[in-house]
Structure 1
Amino acid sequence: MIALPRSPSGVVALTARWSLAAVFIAAGYIKALNPAAFLMDVRSFQLLDDPWAAWLAMGLPWLEILCGLALLSGLLLDGALLTITGMLAAFLAAILYSWHRGIDLQCGCFGENPDVSNYRDLITRDVLLLATAIALLIYRWHLSRQPSPPATLTPESPA
């Protein structure tokens, strides 16, 4: 059973965590449904040659799903948050670099999109997701730094 938070900040953190989980599970699922299309999207960045692009296209959707499930369940939470933060930072760097190079790319984040890339929308979305992941990491760090409540002594039951 999931322990629900008792503080307003805990409720906000849980809502943010589950929202981020939903985004990553959905994005990973959509990519996993059509790996060939996602491979074309990875290639559109012109950053990786085969076989690296193919490995990324095959593995990334499952990593996103796994991290999303970890956020949803609370298992391996810190590792999932660190991994998601790294993925978002790498994606943001790839988007910025592609924009700088003038590449018309298809990000492939949520399946096929025939429209021309709107870099500002991609960057805004990625920055908001990255800020959410970083805020959750900071929140978790602050929780870990709080002293634990003192142990209470309970009378032992007679044998």
Structure 2
Amino acid sequence: MKGADSITVSIKNFMVCLLLYFIAVVFFIAGAMKMWDIHQFVDSLDSYQFFPELALGPVAFFIPSLEMVLAICLLLKFFRLTSLIASFLLLLCFTLVLMISHLRGIDISCGCFGALEVHSYVYMYCRNIILMLVTLFVLWQTIGNLEKLKSLPLNISMQSN
């Protein structure tokens, strides 16, 4: 029975690893597409009517840069736990800004994937919720396996005091 348990654990770890890489690839592609056509992303941000005009340029540079840095950190196991938490919080912020714009009656293109973006609130909500759930699942599995993660920049003791 012990062999079956190790196979189950191996499959679970493999799936978590695939989901982690999926999150990283999504963030990297999203960031790269925004950087590729930064002017279109500035226009998308402007359509939200959320940021002052002077902040549009810096925000348009910061968001895709952050997405690509998070993706690289996830892939390279550098600050992985912190990067997962930041990824979830970024997705949550994106979803809240999307919701605020929707409630204000603003018809927007989210700008998340540049020219590849689909213009539908239902699609954008579903995509963001799925990405948040996947990120939470990977985060939950990562926290559950802290003793196995030697690359964490944190000094966490699993002993109870």
What TM-score do the two structures reach when normalised by structure 1? 0.82
Query: Does the aligned pair in 1 maintain the 2:111–2:117 contact within 8 Å?
Result: no
For residues 10 and 55 of structure 2, what CA distance do their matches in structure 1 show?
A: 45
Alpha-carbon offset, residue 111 of structure 1: 0.8
Task: Give the CA RMSD over aligned residues.
Answer: 2.0
Gaps of 5+ in 2: 1-8, 149-156
Question: In the alignment, which residue of structure 1 is the partner of 2:137?
Answer: 135
1:27 aligns with 2:69: no
Alpha-carbon offset, residue 50 of structure 1: 2.2
Query: Does the aligned pair in 1 maintain the 2:24–2:74 contact within 8 Å?
Result: yes
For residues 126 and 147 of structure 2, what CA distance do their matches in structure 1 show?
A: 31
Alpha-carbon offset, residue 102 of structure 1: 1.1
Q: Partner letter of residue 58 of structure 2? A: W
Q: 1:113 to 1:10 in 2, by over 3 A?
A: closer
Answer 1 or 2: which has greater helix percent: 2
For residues 90 and 131 of structure 2, what CA distance do their matches in structure 1 show?
A: 11
1:49 aligns with 2:52: yes
Question: In the alignment, which residue of structure 1 is the partner of 2:104?
Answer: 101
Secondary structure of the structure 1 residue equivalent to 2:87: helix
1:90 aligns with 2:83: no
Alpha-carbon offset, residue 52 of structure 1: 2.2
Gaps of 5+ in 1: 1-5, 149-159
**Cα deviation code 1:103-140 (max 9, x no counterpart):** 1111111113687x310100000000011111111111
**Which stretch of structure 1 is more off in the superposition, 45-54 or 106-115?**
106-115
Query: Does the aligned pair in 1 maintain the 2:44–2:109 contact within 8 Å?
Result: yes
Aligned length: 142
- Identity among equivalent positions (%) equals 23
Question: In the alignment, which residue of structure 2 is the partner of 1:40?
Answer: 43
Report the structure number with the largest CA radius of gyration.
1
Q: Partner letter of residue 122 of structure 1? A: M
